[in-house]
């Protein structure tokens, strides 16, 4: 391991590669780095939920990361770690000092395996300690929500389990094909008007124009959203999360208002965004096309807010995709969807049913997203809801038709999944 060399100061910050959090308010010289090899039997997550496993873990070797901290804070942190380990675990003796960072991590790894998933609070002190540094460290265990690389290898490679039977879930091919026809015929010219990029000199941070070359909310998803809005003429749209989809809803809603159906009421767009200043499209939230911005987590929005949605209105969900205690995803499926009125259309994103999540997402980028499994369970044998359209499914099912109609825009991909309530029992 590299030697430890740092300069004293009152402030500290932790940097984990490209995902660094720069919290120091003054500039300090750092004379060296502490390189720590994380034990490969540990899974590491940022405390805010952002996965950094792809940078910190590999199947066959530990990947060193450089953590920069200042000497005073480092010594205090080490003492607290020693005290927490000695207090929490009777099975692992905490040494009084470590000759290297790897020695500490090895001891810590043994402690983690002993202390977690038990009836005691063995791991609480160390959990809080690591969480303060912006990471979560948990053992590789079948109780853990983080799936090990070995188990993923079995799933994707050995079993080749990349597609579900989904018995009890009708993908509604005939209606999906109808939507596809509208997309490739009725509204084809409108979709072909989407530019690949903005003209030279146009500031993206001020533009309301959707461009299909930007990589976020790809052309298949955008084309489908545009077509859904044009087909159903929603009076209200509630978007949970802000992104490039807003460019589509504002533009398509305006076409509905100003086109041949100009007698219809103006499309009302509400955005629920808890962190508007952090959104990469924060300028959209100030656009004239947005009627209301709700700066709250969806869990904190009164459920009555969703009672205003009527038949053909849209609830557009693009959330954390994580099924876990207290998440937005769980709240949406268990508290919001059951109370929606008949005819309300719902969107969820990054759904690949009947296929599993892309292997490179899970094994390469370590995305532990589980929303599509809850969605499948929600829709199977559920006669109150029906599938409307899925961009991923349509690309697989009707690939040749899409290529023939819009060859210059065909894109292998898409994750928008649309369904609607057809009765309320």
d(Cα 49, Cα 323) in Å, to the nearest integer? 12
Shared domain check, 136 and 59:
yes
Shared domain check, 238 and 116:
no
Shared domain check, 206 and 107:
no
Higher pLDDT among residues 127 and 38, named by residue: 127
Q: What is the pTM of this model?
A: 0.75
The number of distinct structural domains making up the chain is: 2
Residue-wise DSSP of 246-311 = HHHHHHHHHHHHHSTTTTSPPPEEEEE-S-GGG-TTGGGGGSTT--EEE-S-GGGS-GGGGGG--T
Shared domain check, 227 and 332:
yes
Two tokens, residue 96: 């009084």
Shared domain check, 254 and 314:
yes
Shared domain check, 134 and 177:
no
Per-residue confidence at 411, pLDDT binned at 50, 70, 90?
A: confident
- Asked if residue 3 belongs to a domain, the reply is no
Containing domain of residue 323, as a range?
173-421
pLDDT digits (tens, 9 = 90+) for 219-252: 999 999 999 999 999 999 999 987 889 999 999 9
- Asked if residue 238 belongs to a domain, the reply is yes
* pLDDT the model gives residue 268: 94
Question: At which of 103, 128, 145 does a domain end?
Answer: 145
* End-to-end alpha carbon distance in the chain: 64
d(Cα 21, Cα 6) in Å, to the nearest integer? 18
Shared domain check, 280 and 234:
yes
pLDDT digits (tens, 9 = 90+) for 289-331: 889 999 999 999 999 999 999 999 999 999 899 999 999 999 9
d(Cα 34, Cα 101) in Å, to the nearest integer? 8
- Asked if residue 158 belongs to a domain, the reply is no
Q: The CATH number of the domain where 310 resides is what? A: 3.40.50.150
- Asked if residue 322 belongs to a domain, the reply is yes
pLDDT digits (tens, 9 = 90+) for 38-87: 333 444 443 444 333 333 333 223 333 333 333 445 556 566 666 665 55
Higher pLDDT among residues 114 and 376, named by residue: 376
Shared domain check, 202 and 351:
yes
Quick check: 172 pLDDT over 90? yes
Asked whether the beta carbons of 227 and 187 are under 8 A apart, the reply is yes
Shared domain check, 193 and 121:
no
- Asked if residue 2 belongs to a domain, the reply is no
- Asked if residue 251 belongs to a domain, the reply is yes
Shared domain check, 224 and 82:
no
- Asked if residue 154 belongs to a domain, the reply is no
Shared domain check, 232 and 114:
no
- Asked if residue 295 belongs to a domain, the reply is yes
Shared domain check, 246 and 304:
yes
């Amino acid at each position: 391991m590299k030697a430890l060399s740092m300069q004293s100061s009152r402030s500290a910050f932790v940097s984990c590669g490209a995902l660094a959090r720069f919290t120091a308010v003054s500039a300090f010289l750092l004379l060296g780095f502490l390189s720590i090899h994380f034990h490969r039997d540990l899974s590491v997550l940022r405390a805010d939920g952002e996965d950094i496993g792809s940078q910190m873990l590999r199947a066959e070797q530990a990947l060193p990361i450089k953590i920069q901290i200042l000497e005073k804070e480092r010594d205090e942190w080490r003492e607290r770690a020693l005290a927490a380990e000695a207090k929490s675990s009777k099975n692992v003796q905490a040494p009084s000092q470590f000759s290297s960072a790897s020695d500490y991590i090895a001891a810590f790894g043994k402690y983690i395996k002993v202390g977690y998933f038990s009836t005691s609070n063995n791991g609480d002190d160390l959990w809080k300690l690591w969480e303060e540094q912006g990471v979560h460290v948990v053992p590789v265990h079948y109780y853990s929500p983080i799936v090990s690389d070995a188990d993923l290898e079995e799933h994707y490679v050995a079993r080749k389990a990349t597609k579900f039977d989904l018995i009890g879930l009708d993908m509604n091919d005939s209606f999906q094909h109808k939507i596809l026809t509208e997309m490739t015929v009725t509204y084809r010219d409108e979709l072909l008007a989407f530019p690949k990029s903005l003209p030279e000199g146009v500031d993206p941070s001020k533009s309301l124009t959707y461009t299909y070359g930007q990589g976020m909310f790809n052309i298949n998803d955008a084309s489908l959203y545009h077509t859904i809005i044009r087909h159903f003429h929603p009076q209200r749209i509630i978007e949970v999360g802000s992104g490039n989809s807003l460019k589509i809803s504002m533009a398509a809603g305006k076409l509905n208002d100003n086109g041949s159906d100009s007698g219809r009421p103006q499309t009302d767009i509400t955005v629920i965004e808890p962190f508007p200043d952090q959104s990469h499209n924060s300028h959209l939230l100030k656009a004239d096309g947005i009627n209301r911005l709700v700066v709250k987590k969806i869990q904190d929005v009164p459920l009555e807010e969703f009672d205003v949605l009527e038949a053909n209105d849209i609830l557009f969900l693009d959330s954390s995709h994580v099924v876990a205690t207290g998440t937005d995803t769980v709240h949406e499926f268990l508290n919001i969807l059951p109370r929606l009125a008949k005819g309300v259309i719902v969107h969820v994103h990054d759904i690949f049913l009947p296929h599993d999540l892309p292997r490179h997402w899970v094994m390469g980028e370590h995305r532990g997203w589980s929303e599509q499994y809850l969605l499948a369970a929600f829709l199977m044998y559920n006669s109150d809801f029906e599938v409307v359209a899925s961009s991923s499914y349509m690309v697989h099912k009707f690939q040749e038709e899409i290529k023939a109609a819009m060859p210059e825009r065909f894109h292998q991909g898409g994750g928008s999944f649309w369904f609607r309530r057809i009765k309320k029992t």
